[in-house]
């Protein structure tokens, strides 16, 4: 084969290869374009939004619960509610309380995203933990959990409005299952100190008013 | 009257607002109330007891159960054992 024939053959092969390659590239670009157009724009996650949601939730909680309950939550991180028991809810009941005294001589501690703890105020004996949550299955971007203060508000409203439903629906466990009993006893001590300090602050103003 | 819904990542969101004394507003509020309950929400109404001034809450399952002078109805997801 002459050198001229070899060059011509090489040029023809090059041209054919280039044609095939350009076709492949065009197809690849077209597929990418179609995929990009089909893709829905995803909302971007904003890390500050959780904090803003919590600030809103705190403001709402403050506007709904009693002033001393709000101050308790602000200062201590939980709310204590005196229980009414099955009798207090005004309904007949087999025993939804899981052994709580029916006369309402017990209280609850409401923590955000933690079980509600029932205890006897006189002895600070821990009675039980009631595990309850409010999962929002419609929300995908931010998960199912309400902001902390909204979780506390939902528990507060449910206890105030329908304690029996809460006790029936919750998973009841012995103390210590999710919350360290030492922590609860320390919180009860903090609560007692807080109430003493609050009463001390209130007394001079009452004396001044008299 | 305002309908508020507690939502993850958002706090409370205003769903509807209106004066239940006006029939047009009342229809809209009833429709939204039913929609929320049908989608699995519970509804609570914050109230203040007249004699003691204590703040309480009541759960409502019908629009007619909402006290007339209510300012806010709070919708939140149903409780589940954790």
Cα A163 from Cα B56, distance rounded (Å): 12
The CA distance from A160 to A156, in Å, is 6
Nearest chain B Cα distance for residue A36, angstroms: 28
Q: What is the pLDDT along chain A (210 residues), one digit of tens a residue?
A: 678 888 888 888 888 888 888 888 888 888 888 877 777 666 666 778 889 999 999 999 999 999 999 999 999 999 999 988 655 444 434 444 555 555 557 899 999 999 999 999 989 999 999 999 999 888 776 778 999 999 999 999 999 998 888 888 899 999 999 999 999 999 999 999 999 999 988 776 666 655
**pLDDT mean over B6-22:** 94
B27: in domain: yes
| Tokens describing residue B1 | 């009257």
Same domain, yes or no: A57 and A127? yes
Q: Is residue B66 part of a domain?
A: yes
Say if residues A148 and B49 touch (Cβ distance below 8 Å). Answer: no
- In sequence order, what are the residues at sequence separation of 6 or more whose Cβ sits closer than 8 angstroms to the Cβ of residue B20? B1, B26, B29, B66, B68
Q: Smallest CA–CA separation between B45 and chain A, in Å?
A: 8
Interface A–B counts its CB contacts (< 8 A) at 117
pLDDT of residue A54: 95
Give Cβ neighbours of residue B42 (< 8 Å, ≥ 6 apart): A158, B59, B75, B76, B77, B78, B79
Q: Is residue B34 part of a domain?
A: yes
Q: Give the count of domains, chain A.
A: 2
Return the closest-CA partner of residue A63 out of B20, B29, B37, B55: B55
Identify the H or E element spanning A128: strand A125-133
B51 touching chain A per CB within 8 A = no
Give the chain A residue whose CA is nearest to the CA of B45: A157
| Spatial separation of the C-alpha atoms in residues A196 and A202, rounded to whole Å | 10
- Residue A192 located in a structural domain: yes
Q: Is residue A1 part of a domain?
A: no
d(CA A63, CA A90): 27
A2 in a structural domain? no
Q: Is A136 close to B77, i.e. CB distance below 8 A?
A: yes
Q: Is residue B67 less than 8 Å (CB to CB) from chain A? A: no
Q: What is the ipTM of this complex?
A: 0.95
The beta-carbon neighbor of A146 closest among B6, B46, B54 is B6
* B74 contacts chain A (CB < 8 A): yes
Q: Is A188 helix (H, G, I), strand (E, B) or coil?
A: helix
**Do A148 and A204 sit in the same domain of this protein?**
yes
Q: Residue A73 falls within a domain, yes or no? A: yes
Residues A90 and A144 occupy one common structural domain: yes
Query: Does residue A155 sit within a domain?
Result: yes
Q: What pLDDT does residue B6 have?
A: 96
Number of domains in chain B: 1
CA distance A163 to A89: 7
pTM, two decimals, is: 0.78
Taking CB atoms and an 8 Å cutoff, what residues of chain A touch B59? Answer: 157-158, 161-162, 165
Query: Looking at the domain assignment, is residue B10 inside a domain?
Result: yes
Instruction: Name every residue in A having a CB less than 8 A away from some CB of B.
Output: 49-50, 52-57, 60, 64-66, 115, 131-139, 141-147, 150, 153-154, 156-158, 160-162, 165-166, 169-171
Residues of A in contact with B58 (CB under 8 A): 161
Does residue A24 belong to any structural domain of this protein? yes
Residue B47 CA, chain-centre distance (Å), reads: 11
* Residue A96 located in a structural domain: yes
Residue A125 CA neighbour count, 13 Å, CB half: 8
Radius of gyration of chain B (CA): 13
| Whether residues A114 and A193 fall in one domain | yes
Same domain as A165, residue A103: yes
Q: Tell me, yes or no, whether B82 lies in a domain.
A: no
Q: A99 and A27 in one domain?
A: no
Containing domain of residue A68, as a range? 48-209
Domain range enclosing B17: 2-77
pLDDT single digits (tens) B34-61: 999 999 999 999 999 888 899 999 999 9
Of the partner residues B4, B42, B77, the one whose CB lies closest to the CB of residue A135: B77
- List chain B residues with CB under 8 Å of A54: 11
Do residues A57 and A18 share a domain?
Answer: no
User: Which chain A residues are closer than 8 Å to B8 by Cβ?
Assistant: 53, 136, 139, 142-147
State whether A135 and B80 contact (CB < 8 Å).
yes
Q: Are residues A115 and A200 in the same domain?
A: yes
Asked if A15 and A106 sit in the same domain, the reply is no
């Amino acid at each position: 084969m002459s050198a001229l024939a070899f060059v011509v053959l090489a040029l023809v092969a090059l041209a054919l290869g280039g044609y095939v390659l350009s076709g492949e590239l065009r197809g690849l670009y077209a597929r990418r374009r179609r995929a990009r157009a089909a893709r829905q724009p995803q909302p971007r996650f904003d890390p500050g939004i959780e904090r803003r949601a919590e600030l809103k939730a705190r403001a709402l909680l403050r506007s709904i619960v009693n002033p001393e309950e709000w101050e308790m939550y602000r200062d201590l991180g939980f709310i204590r509610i005196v229980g009414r028991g099955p009798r207090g809810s005004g309904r007949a009941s087999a025993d939804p309380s899981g052994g709580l005294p029916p006369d309402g001589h017990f209280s609850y501690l409401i923590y955000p995203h933690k079980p509600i703890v029932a205890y006897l105020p006189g002895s600070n004996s821990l009675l039980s933990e009631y595990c309850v949550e409010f999962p929002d299955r419609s929300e995908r971007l931010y998960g199912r959990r309400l902001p902390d203060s909204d979780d506390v508000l939902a528990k507060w409203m449910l206890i105030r409005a329908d304690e029996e439903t809460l006790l029936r629906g919750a998973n009841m466990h012995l103390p210590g299952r999710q919350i360290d009993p030492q922590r609860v006893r320390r919180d009860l001590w903090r609560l007692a100190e807080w109430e003493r300090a609050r009463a001390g602050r209130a007394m001079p103003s009452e004396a001044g008013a008299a | 009257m305002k309908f508020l819904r507690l939502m993850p990542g958002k706090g409370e969101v205003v769903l509807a607002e209106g004066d239940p004394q006006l029939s047009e507003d009342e229809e809209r509020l009833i429709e939204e109330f039913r929609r929320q309950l049908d989608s699995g929400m519970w509804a609570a109404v914050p109230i203040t007891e007249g004699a003691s001034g204590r703040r309480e809450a009541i759960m409502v399952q019908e629009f007619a159960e909402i006290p007339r002078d209510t300012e806010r109805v709070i919708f939140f997801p149903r409780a589940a054992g954790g």
